Amino acid sequence: MTSKNVLHSPKAPAAIGPYVQAIQVDAWIVGSGQLGIDPRTGQLVPGGIEAETRQVLNNIAAILDSAGLSAEAIVKTTVFLVDLSEFGAMNAVYADFFRDTPPARSTVQVAALPKGARIEIDFWAYRR
């Protein structure tokens, strides 16, 4: 039987509901959706979509770091945006974060996100 290991980083925000930051099963790591929450304050970072996107990606990096991995391990993300007109601004920050080999990605517009966030990103990573 395969075991599930919970991943947790104090450098990423604690879950705001009945879920964990990420789960590792064998070589796969499945990350819960991350918001642009500053883990020190528990609040969304100010500055709009660019700042929130940067914080989301930093939160994901912190979770992966707790497993000894980097963002290069990410193979798939799903980006949830409240307003697709902010896609270009989000995409510029995203492209800067994933400079070498970006993962597969889906992007969808949603009606709303927790805490009034503009963006949420979940991820799948693979430990080689």
Each residue of 50-103: pLDDT tens digit?
999 999 999 999 999 999 999 999 999 999 999 999 999 999 999 999 999 999
- At 1 the pLDDT is 58
Distance CA 128, CA 68 (A): 11
C-beta neighbour count of 52 within 10 angstroms: 26
Range of the domain at 49: 4-126
| Structure confidence at residue 3 as a pLDDT band (50, 70, 90) | confident
Distance CA 94, CA 126 (A): 19
Number of domains in the chain: 1
Among 1-10, 23-32, 98-107, 112-121, which stretch is predicted with the lowest mean pLDDT? 1-10
This prediction's pTM: 0.96
pLDDT tens per residue across span 31-51 = 999 999 999 999 999 999 999
| CATH number (domain holding residue 59) | 3.30.1330.40
pLDDT tens per residue across span 17-30 = 999 999 999 999 99
Distance CA 96, CA 94 (A): 5
